[in-house]
Amino acid sequence: MKLTRRHFLQNAGIAAAAVATWKIPKGVMASPVPAGTVATTGGLPGSLGAKEVPSVCEMCFWRCPIVGKVKDGKIVKIEGNPKSPTNGHRVCARGNSGIQLIYDPDRLKYPMKRVGARGEGKWARISWNEALDEITHNIKKVRDKYGPSSLAMFDHGASAEFYREIFKGLGTENYSNEPAFFQCMGAVSLAYLVTYGYKIAERVDMANAKAMVFFGTHLGENIHLSHVREYIAGLQNGAKLVVVDPRFSAPAGKADLWLPIRPGTDTALLLAWINYVIQNGLYDKDFVQRNCEGFDELKEAVKGYSLGWAARICDLKLDDIRRGIEMLAASRPHVTVHPGRHSAWYGRGDVQRHRAMAILTALFGAVGVPGGLYFPTPFNLEESDCLECEEPEDVEEPETSIKEKYPFTGYFGSPTAEIIKATRTGEPYPVKLWGICGVNILQTIPNPYETMEAIKKLDFIFSIEILPTEPAIWSDIILPEANYLERYDRVYANHDLTPYVTVRQPVMKPMFEAKPPFWIAKELAKRLDLDCFTCEREEEYLDEQLEAMGLSLAKLNKEGGLVTLKGNPYRDPGKAIKVDTESGKIELFSSAFDDEDMDPIPKFEPTPAPPKGYARLVYGRVPMHTFSRTMNNLWLSNECPEGKLWLNDEVAKKMGVKDGDEVIIENQDAYRSNPVKLMVTPGIRHDIVYLPHGFGSRSPLLTKTYKHGASDQFLITRYEQDPFFGGSSHRTDFVRLIKDGKTLDVPELRPIPSEIPRFEIKMAS
């Protein structure tokens, strides 16, 4: 793809407030769990009397190949698929606990309709026909009254693709092709796409690296199993590790050098490193000359960023900064500058932070080599015609698009924040109906109070859920979806160093009245007169996808559910590489950004420092949980029922608090958390506090997680939107503590450089 705004929008390359108590009729959600039954799919040879069915995990988005063991109609164990080149027989604690998702007594069992006021919590069990007819009636009613742009879909996960197709077929631009793009990985995806012409997706060869650098990358806390194994293999092979993080994370504990950087100054450090590498000839001259575009412009643009300047801005020691970059440069080209995944930090500077990381990688020549970025191996897979809904040609587009000010939103739909704004305000057009699947919008999207305000203004909202999450309790209709162990999804083509193809398929039949997403989407499409989902059974579209590879679902299962391919991840060192950018080269100077009058080379834009008396709120992961999705899981909640708030030990001493004290967190807009215990530690900067994400559920029907712990998301009420694609920041809120009813200001231990403004607290609109 030649990446211009037009091509980006066409997406030729980017895809390569209290909650009311429920009053539930007895038996609708709390009935005893019946025994599951075995699916009719083929499987691996049984062992110890258990039938083994290969599939793909969905306890997080890493999607490890698994084998489900079923005995006497019940799933009794989950293991890794031994044929997998990435995780083998291994699964993490979350993967093993998928059994508890199946048999969670809180899971949704039947379609339900709201019978009281929205949020009041009065429900009636209804049939699937009634539920689907009600949703169809309201979609048609809203579309006919307000136009197709009045419809919006928030979705995430493999099954959500089916529902997204329906909203595309209805003619709306307001599908959010995984809110994760706008809340998580959009900045890193866009930055590497415009630099290298393809979405990197963490394709870094850490096992063969001689040096690695992480910027806030918490490997070992997020437990992406194969990725963590590769990282550990790199360390075992002697790779040096530099960790840039204001918190002493799990990787920082294994680092040769930990740089506890001032939050919001990562780009300053990167630009100073880039300048140092250029000025001291530490870059791969042959690679840059042969494969990169815009080196002279880059050299001129960064010449003012010195290591001394960066040390002051970043609050780091000059000798440490120099040691870090020389450690990396000495190992070129076998260097992993890890692109990261979660990149929605500060809004305005997020894309350029990752652009700087991509540029540093190119200067080291760490592209298509062992230890660096590697190229994805293409797959000969066909899209199934029966799945795609034709977008209507006669739909009149709105005069003003809610995404028109973001030139690189593209295929990923409309920014979530803009959908919510339009719903609240009616501008630039009214949004009156939402569908939700696979995403907890109240625990994911900044300012959940605005989200709840928007929901109240909807004519209709429905959700497709496995558990009764916060969005479910605000819905008018709730549909119970089969979980990942009870359904088919699309073919998984994994582009790792050893590529492989596998398929998610049911290990057992859906329990209760839960239905697979294909069936739900097919029934909705039929009622909405959409020409799609024409296959009679899921196996048909899977066979269509696999046919071009000479495979079928049956053949794949005979091979143990997974087939590996020969990879081609590295470049020929004697030849120039060809990438899908406008110039055909790695773009140090981005022509795509320049075309839109945006900075073609990163600049440092300071992020406001905390107001006096406050610390920046930073959040992250714990290895036992996947955000709020697993908090109600019996096994996992037993291991980690709630998070603790990390607080610097010097700060704690001045505040008069100690480890284990219970406090309440209050943000700059006076929103408060549930009580949370302190973890006082020297392993965190003085100007931040850290709270694990996903705790503090506000859904009373999630009995194992309701009000357990503090929710970081309900403290994130201020956010900045990225100017490139509209993503929302998540680290631009500030907090102080309340103990025993007394408000405690956070002391400031070191002065702030004059170049960094201070956040001003004003009443939120």
Joined together, the tokens standing for residue 656 give: 């008069």
Q: What is the rounded distance in angstroms from the CA atom of residue 317 to the CA atom of residue 390?
A: 58
Q: How far apart (Å, rounded) are the C-alpha atoms in residues 363 and 377?
A: 24
Regarding beta strands 44-47 and 477-480, do their DSSP bridges make them parallel or antiparallel, or are they unpaired?
unpaired
Neighbouring CB atoms inside 10 A of 312's CB total 15
Average pLDDT, the chain: 90
- Token readout for 662 is 């219970």
| Residue 26: per-residue pLDDT | 37
**Rounded CA gap, 668 and 670, in Å?**
6
Helix intervals (H) in 5-127: 5-10, 93-96, 98-102
**Highest CATH level, class, for 186-376:** alpha beta
Which of 349, 445, 396 lies closest to 155 in space, CA to CA?
Answer: 445
Which segments in the chain show pLDDT lower than 70?
1-48, 119, 121, 177-179, 763-765
Q: Are strands 460-465 and 477-480 parallel, antiparallel or unpaired?
A: parallel
With 0-12 CB in 10 A as exposed, 13-18 as middle and 19+ as buried, what is 573? exposed
Neighbours of 692 (CB within 10 A): 23
pTM: 0.92
Give the three-class secondary structure for 693.
Answer: coil
Q: Which residues contact 280 (CB under 8 A, 6 or more apart)?
A: none
Q: What is the pLDDT of residues 382-396, one digit of tens each?
A: 888 898 888 787 777
User: Residue 123 contacts by C-beta under 8 Å, 6 or more apart in sequence?
Assistant: 22, 23, 24, 25, 28, 112, 113, 114, 115, 478
Amino acid at 295: F
Q: How many CA atoms lie within 13 A of 718 on its CB side?
A: 22
- Cα 691 to Cα 219, 551, 661, 698, distances in angstroms: 17, 46, 15, 17
Cβ pair 167, 150 in contact under 8 A: no
Spell out the domain ranges in the chain. 1-29+106-177+392-481+516-534, 33-105+491-515+552-587, 186-376, 615-744
- The pLDDT tens digits for 71-129 are 988 999 999 999 999 999 999 999 999 999 999 999 999 999 998 777 676 789 999 99
724 neighbors 351 (Cβ within 8 angstroms): yes
Question: Up-side HSE of residue 532: CA atoms within 13 Å toward CB?
Answer: 25
Residue 666 CA to residue 743 CA, distance in Å, equals: 9
Class for domain 33-105+491-515+552-587, per CATH? mainly beta
Separation between Cα atoms, residue 474 and residue 372, nearest integer Å: 46
CATH of domain 615-744: 2.40.40.20
Same fold, 1-29+106-177+392-481+516-534 and 186-376: no
Say which residues have a Cβ less than 8 Å from residue 683's Cβ, sequence separation at least 6.
247, 248, 252, 646
Q: What contacts 638, CB < 8 A, 6 or more positions away? A: none
Q: Are 259 and 349 in contact (CB under 8 A)?
A: no
Class of domain 1-29+106-177+392-481+516-534: alpha beta
- Write out pLDDT tens, residues 549-584: 999 999 999 999 999 999 999 999 889 999 999 999
What is the DSSP track for 20-32? PPPBPPTTSSSSP
Q: Under a CB-based contact definition with an 8 Å cutoff, are residues 200 and 373 in contact? A: yes
Strands (DSSP E) found in 511-604: 562-564, 586-587
pLDDT, residue 465, reads 95
